[in-house]
A and B are shown apart, each in its own frame.
Chain A
Amino acid sequence: MSKWLQDNMPKIVLAPSFIAVMIFVYGFIGWTAWVSLTRSRLMPRYELDSFIQYERLAASPRFETAMVNLFIFGSLFIIIAMVLGLLLAILLDQKIRTEGAIRTIYLYPMALSMIVTGTAWKWILNPGLGLEAMVRGWGFEEFRFDWLVDPDMAIYTIVIAAIWQSSGFVMALFLAGLRSVDGEIIKAAQVDGIPHWRVYTAIIIPSMAPIFLSAFIVLAHLAIKSFDLVIALTGGGPGYATDLPATYMYAMAFSRGDIGQAASSAMVMMLVVFAIVVPYLYSELRTKDG
């Protein structure tokens, strides 16, 4: 092997991945950004035409529904998954003998495809044959639980399924956080006679702030990217009632043949992600360099 080759081997090894990332991530983002500023419909066109696509997005009731849904779904999903995850982590942190087994049960949904989760919950929430029918069968003839087919409530079925899928994961994050709190401080607090629950609210939870931030970032990221779950559970319906930006983008790109709208809605999604992730990454990188 020549000297030059030897010296430059690290760069040569990195080169294909570097080129791939530059083209398939950054180049492609650039392409989408460009096309989102054109009048592209069925085929992409490359003459820029200011913000026409974004104006169409802003005027589209379907996209408005998608953004409102993202807000409802995102905030409920993040808040409930965090509260539930923290609660489960604290419950599991009480020297539970079967902790391993219980943890395995709480976390297994995370191994499933969203399509599987959606399929399962679609069946459970089926008004005619699922939970509703079961409770009626117990004699509660008036019982109603038909959120899946109710345009005003269907978005909440997605919240339920998403929480079922991801809360165990939040629990695992928090449990690791609880276990990393300095044991000496906790012992000292106990010796001082501080009640058990105060140890949590005053010492442990405040020291876990970075974990809350991580959990928030992960859940927000999951929420914005949610696509498969909606497709499997409601298909975006009834009507467009449970559309999210991700399903809107997909519909425009692959069934409506409206590339301009697909590109601009994808850009909106990316901006939302970046608004959340960039400050986080920035602070992470800064603290590491410092």
Chain B
Amino acid sequence: MADISSSGGPSMARSQSQTTKLALRIILYLALCIFALFYLMPLFVMITTSLKSLDEIRTGDLMSLPRDVTFDAWRSAWSEACTGIQCEGVRPFFWNSVLIAIPGVLISTLLGALNGYVVAQWRFKGANIFFALMLFGCFIPFQVVLLPMARMLGVMGIAGTIPGLVFVHVIYGLGFTTLFFRNYYVSIPDELTKAAKVDGAGFFRIFWSIFLPLSLPIIVVTVIWQFTQIWNDFLFGVSFSQAGTQPVTVALNNIVNSTTGVKEYNVDMAAAIIAALPTLFVYVVAGKYFIRGLTAGSVKG
């Protein structure tokens, strides 16, 4: 724990007068506030723009509050805006994303838990090689698997379908979910497994009644990580979907970059907020676990 403060050591207190210290403190808070404004500004602009009418957007300025608050853009973004030839808003695509994310998260988390359990606690010859191979897989740029995957999904008969996208997300999520659980289970002493084996408990029995009950924090971290990854995915979504099965990120991009008709910036912003809401919600509710996943996924990766 770093234990520094500007009221730190006694010698520092003597060397700095109270007024300069106060001035530094004010500057510090001012700087922090300015940065906070920088990070909040796009969100503020998105929300205010989504509540303005198009006329007001054309005549007013970017940062001004809406004069007349209207929810027309939100209604349009949700159920009327055109994503290409289809004009049903982001609603059907939002549900596509839900249908992709839920099974994708559950299956990859379950498999990751089992894999991590084996690699950490049932070390057999080759288990470490397996883990190294998985770890390596986390780092590949997905462009390198895009073409063969497109063909493989065709061969499997799930090209352009939601199960196809679930499958892709499970496969390429496995590396990280295995990594999370493996690093968590490695810290559990293997005497526990040994003792249970002596008592006659089998592989699944030990997993189910010893490891799973201990796993809540890492399950939360993994679920949040996978949910954020899958929900925010664009590359797989745009490559492996077809009209009707696109996830919400692809629909959002289609709305914003459609070249026909009048540009409705307020609708764009409302659609963007709708697409962002689920992951923002998770972040606000479970930020601690979100950050833990980010740092675990990167530092240990």
Encode A136-164 as 1/0 by CB contact (under 8 A) with B. 01000000000000000000000000001
Interface residues of B in 32-83 (CB under 8 A from A): 32, 35-36, 38-43, 45-46, 49, 57-58, 61-63
- In contact, A121 and B42 (Cβ under 8 angstroms): yes
Residue of A nearest to B232 (CB): A113
Collect the chain B residues with CB atoms within 8 Å of residue A96's CB.
28-29, 32
- How far apart are the CA atoms of A27 and B145 in the complex, in Å? 9
A91, A179, A214, A249: the one contacting B299 at CB < 8 Å is A214
Collect the chain B residues with CB atoms within 8 Å of residue A274's CB.
139
Q: Is B290 an interface residue (CB 8 A)?
A: yes
Q: Is B22 an interface residue (CB 8 A)?
A: no
- In contact, A111 and B4 (Cβ under 8 angstroms): no
B250 to chain A, nearest CB (A): 8
Given the known interface contacts A190-B8, A231-B253, A259-B147, the answer about A173 and B234 at a Cβ–Cβ threshold of 8 Å is: no
- How far apart are the CA atoms of A228 and B234 in the complex, in Å? 6
Encode B133-171 as 1/0 by CB contact (under 8 A) with A. 111110111111111111110000000000000000001
Residue of A nearest to B281 (CB): A111
A187 to chain B, nearest CB (A): 6
Collect the chain A residues with CB atoms within 8 Å of residue B36's CB.
102, 105-106
- How far apart are the CA atoms of A221 and B43 in the complex, in Å? 26
Given the known interface contacts A113-B234, A119-B256, A168-B39, the answer about A91 and B228 at a Cβ–Cβ threshold of 8 Å is: no
Determine, out of A13-21, A45-53, A56-64, A71-79, the stretch whose residues face the partner at the interface.
A13-21
- In contact, A164 and B291 (Cβ under 8 angstroms): no
- How far apart are the CA atoms of A173 and B58 in the complex, in Å? 41
Residue of A nearest to B235 (CB): A227
Interface residues of A in 61-95 (CB under 8 A from B): 88, 91-95
B2, B61, B139, B249: the one contacting A113 at CB < 8 Å is B249
- In contact, B12 and A111 (Cβ under 8 angstroms): no
- In contact, B61 and A134 (Cβ under 8 angstroms): yes
- In contact, A196 and B8 (Cβ under 8 angstroms): yes
Q: Is B96 an interface residue (CB 8 A)?
A: no
- In contact, B124 and A102 (Cβ under 8 angstroms): no
- In contact, A114 and B252 (Cβ under 8 angstroms): no
Residue of A nearest to B126 (CB): A11
- How far apart are the CA atoms of A255 and B224 in the complex, in Å? 34
Residue of A nearest to B9 (CB): A190
Q: Is B130 an interface residue (CB 8 A)?
A: yes
- How far apart are the CA atoms of A12 and B111 in the complex, in Å? 12
Encode A178-215 as 1/0 by CB contact (under 8 A) with B. 11010100110011010110010000100000010010
Q: Is A42 an interface residue (CB 8 A)?
A: no
Given the known interface contacts A92-B32, A124-B45, the answer about A11 and B146 at a Cβ–Cβ threshold of 8 Å is: no
- In contact, B39 and A105 (Cβ under 8 angstroms): yes
Collect the chain B residues with CB atoms within 8 Å of residue A111's CB.
228, 276, 279-280, 282-283, 290
Collect the chain A residues with CB atoms within 8 Å of residue B284's CB.
104, 108
Q: Is B245 an interface residue (CB 8 A)?
A: no
- In contact, B202 and A183 (Cβ under 8 angstroms): no
B38, B62, B141, B299: the one contacting A131 at CB < 8 Å is B62
- How far apart are the CA atoms of A249 and B175 in the complex, in Å? 24
- In contact, A91 and B32 (Cβ under 8 angstroms): yes
Chain A interface bracket (under 10, 10 to 19, 20 to 34, 35 or more): 35 or more
B232 to chain A, nearest CB (A): 4
Q: Is B178 an interface residue (CB 8 A)?
A: yes
Collect the chain B residues with CB atoms within 8 Å of residue A17's CB.
111, 115, 134, 174, 178
Residue of A nearest to B8 (CB): A190
- In contact, A187 and B3 (Cβ under 8 angstroms): yes
Q: Is A241 an interface residue (CB 8 A)?
A: no
- How far apart are the CA atoms of A160 and B275 in the complex, in Å? 22
Collect the chain B residues with CB atoms within 8 Å of residue A25's CB.
133, 136-137, 140, 145
B172 to chain A, nearest CB (A): 8
Which residues of chain A have a CB within 8 Å of any CB of chain B?
Answer: 1, 6, 9-11, 13-14, 16-18, 20-22, 24-29, 31-32, 35, 44, 88, 91-96, 102, 104-117, 119-124, 126, 129-131, 133-134, 137, 164, 168-169, 172-173, 176, 178-179, 181, 183, 186-187, 190-191, 193, 195-196, 199, 204, 211, 214, 217-218, 221, 224-225, 227-228, 231-232, 235, 245-246, 249-250, 253-254, 259, 262-263, 265-267, 269-270, 273-274, 277, 281, 285
A-B contact pairs, 20 of them (CB 8 A): A9-B204, A21-B134, A24-B172, A25-B136, A28-B148, A31-B147, A32-B148, A91-B32, A93-B4, A115-B234, A116-B272, A129-B265, A186-B4, A193-B12, A196-B4, A196-B8, A218-B298, A269-B143, A274-B139, A277-B139
The list of the 7 closest CB pairs from A to B, nearest first, reads A190-B9, A113-B232, A111-B283, A10-B122, A9-B203, A228-B234, A266-B143
Which residues of chain B have a CB within 8 Å of any CB of chain A?
Answer: 1-6, 8-9, 11-12, 15, 28-29, 31-32, 35-36, 38-43, 45-46, 49, 57-58, 61-63, 111, 114-115, 118-119, 122, 124, 127, 130, 132-137, 139-152, 171-172, 174-175, 178, 202-204, 228, 231-235, 238-239, 249, 252-253, 256-257, 265, 268-269, 271-273, 275-276, 279-280, 282-284, 287, 290-291, 294-295, 298-299, 301
